[in-house]
Amino acid sequence: MPDSFVLEDELCTKETLEEIGKFVLSKPPDTQKIFTLFYLHDLTISDIADLLCTSESFVKNRLYRTLREIKKEYGGEKE
């Protein structure tokens, strides 16, 4: 029988991941694509920039801003 604390942690993690997924889906399409390609498909920043015909700096900026917003929204960063 699993430890109730471990199970609770797993449920919280699953719920948090679902919330983050919804959060990312609320972002503009280019941000959704960049975030998905980087975190779910493990593409490099360079590969994403080539695929989307944009600059690496644009891709980095979108990733940084989205992560900052997620941390702020879900308690990982204080202002």
Express each pLDDT in 43-52 by its tens digit: 999 999 999 9
Environment class of residue 46 by beta-carbon count within 10 Å: exposed (0-12), middle (13-18) or buried (19+)? exposed
- Smallest CA-to-CA distance from 30 within 68, 69, 59 is with 59
- Smallest CA-to-CA distance from 54 within 31, 25, 21 is with 31
Q: Where are the domains of the chain?
A: 4-73
Q: Residue 3 gets which letter from DSSP?
A: -
What fold characterizes domain 4-73? Answer: Arc Repressor Mutant, subunit A (1.10.10)
- Give the angle subtended at the CA of 44 by the CAs of 20 and 22, to the nearest 5°: 15
Global pTM? 0.75
Q: What is the pLDDT of residues 29-64, one digit of tens each?
A: 999 999 999 999 999 999 999 999 999 999 999 999
